[in-house]
Amino acid sequence: MKLVRKDIEKDNAGQVTLVPEEPEDMWHTYNLLQVGDSLRASTIRKVQTESSTGSVGSNRVRTTLTLCVETIDFDSQACQLRVKGTNIQENEYVKMGAYHTIELEPNRQFTLAKKQWDSVVLERIEQACDPAWSADVAAVVMQEGLAHICLVTPSMTLTRAKVEVNIPRKRRGNCSQHDRALERFYEQVVQAIQRHIHFDVVKCVLVASPGFVREQFCDYMFQQAVKTDNKLLLENRPKFLQVHASSGHKYSLKEALCDPTVASRLSDTKAAGEVKALDDFYKMLQHEPDRAFYGLKQVEKANEALAIDTLLISDELFRHQDVATRSRYVKLVDSVRENAGTVRIFSSLHVSGEQLSQLTGVAAILRFPVPDLSDQESGSSSEED
């Protein structure tokens, strides 16, 4: 994401002009937008024209509209963002108050105006415009006959390909069908890796599986690379890291990211940091439940006691349509930071973020035990807005 202009007043009202450059920038923009915001962007509008003879025709014209945002639709797989609203600025093609849907386009700037820019939204812009925040981890989560090729960016886990091949069972004295199907499966996974993983950006490729599937696959892949003189795979061989996972399903990626060897290799990535924080929370909940709370009311009470060491919160909560509820979460984040606590904002599109959402989306690891809160129903608290 490129920041073109930023005009924010002392009362936190104002506007920013941004240019989305990567598909992931659409996810950042989705998290910036709220109902009631003003969005100005280039769009295509179908207009009717009448000729001098009275015949009516229609053609598509490119124009720039300013909408008052009413609905926001994000497609996480295609990374497409559509914003529907009413036109609030005079335009030769579109009447004031008329509805229109803008599909934001890569490399075309847009201007977003808000009556109130809070700290969470401003931090999101900072992160989106920082070139260091890019997809630097890829993962192949597999079992015999099933594989998911994923890209792990700082903001989301993107499934780029799913490979499924029916593998017949081994028969006594005849394994040829099984072996041929397995080879076909491995070949399809290799093709998917080459198609979807950009090795000039990715620092590490995790190959995760149960049993010996990962070792057998990697042996096959690099043997074939030597035979075919595949320089792309051979030059990037050191980036492949084999780790254990319980299955070939996407949710098993969390186990792979928790592996200590992976954590040390990915110590500078946000994804690994999120997984570690969630893992620390679960350990604390198990061994010292008086120092691990979840649920908004309980976490707010812990914050009032200045007890929060690490706040874990899902970005999903900041997309709440109710302004008062959203402000409550922003106030919690600001307060924890003011009291020297660490705040980790989890992406709801990451496996770790999905797990945090099952814990109401907000949790905290405390500096010291607060038993009186846990007596009132902390840890297992399920009250939520």
Res 16: pLDDT: 97
CB–CB of 312/295 below 8 Å? no
Reading the block at residue 127, the tokens are 């992160």
Q: CA–CA separation, 337 vs 298, rounded Å? A: 18
152 in Cβ contact with 347 (< 8 Å)? no
Cα 298 to Cα 284: distance, rounded to the nearest angstrom = 16
Q: Pull the structure tokens for residue 205.
A: 């490729």
The predicted structure's pLDDT at residue 371: 73
Residue for token pair 């490729």: 205
H/E element holding 371? helix 371-375
Half-sphere exposure of 168 (CA within 13 A, CB side): 11
Residues 6+ apart with CB under 8 A from 72: 30, 33, 35, 81, 82, 83, 84
To the question of pTM greater than 0.85 for the whole model, the response is no
The first and second tokens of residue 59, run together, are 């053609």
The predicted pLDDT at position 182 comes to 93
Angstrom distance (rounded) from CA 344 to CA 327: 17
Order the strands of the 240-244 sheet from edge to edge. Answer: 157-164, 146-152, 137-143, 204-209, 240-244
Q: Which of 313, 354, 304, 363 is nearest to 333 (CA)?
A: 313
Q: Residue 11's Cα: distance from chain center in Å?
A: 30
Domains and CATH numbers, the chain: 2-129 (2.30.30.870), 137-268 (3.30.420.60), 271-366 (3.30.1330.30)
CA distance 180 to 186: 10
> How many Å apart are CA 359 and CA 365, to the nearest integer?
13
135 close to 25: Cβ distance less than 8 angstroms: no
pLDDT, tens only, 336-369: 999 999 999 998 888 888 899 999 999 999 999 9
- Of 196, 198, 204, nearest to 162 (Cα)? 196
- Each as own residue / partner, the long-range contacts of residues 276-280 (CB below 8 Å, 24 or more positions apart, any chain) are 277/310, 277/312, 277/344, 277/365, 278/312, 278/346, 278/352, 278/355, 278/356, 280/310, 280/365
Q: Is the dihedral of CA 68, 156, 315, 338 positive or negative?
A: negative
Tokens of 157: 């886990």
What single letter denotes the amino acid at residue 13? Answer: A
Residue ranges of the chain whose pLDDT lies below 70: 130-135, 154-155, 173, 263-271, 372-385
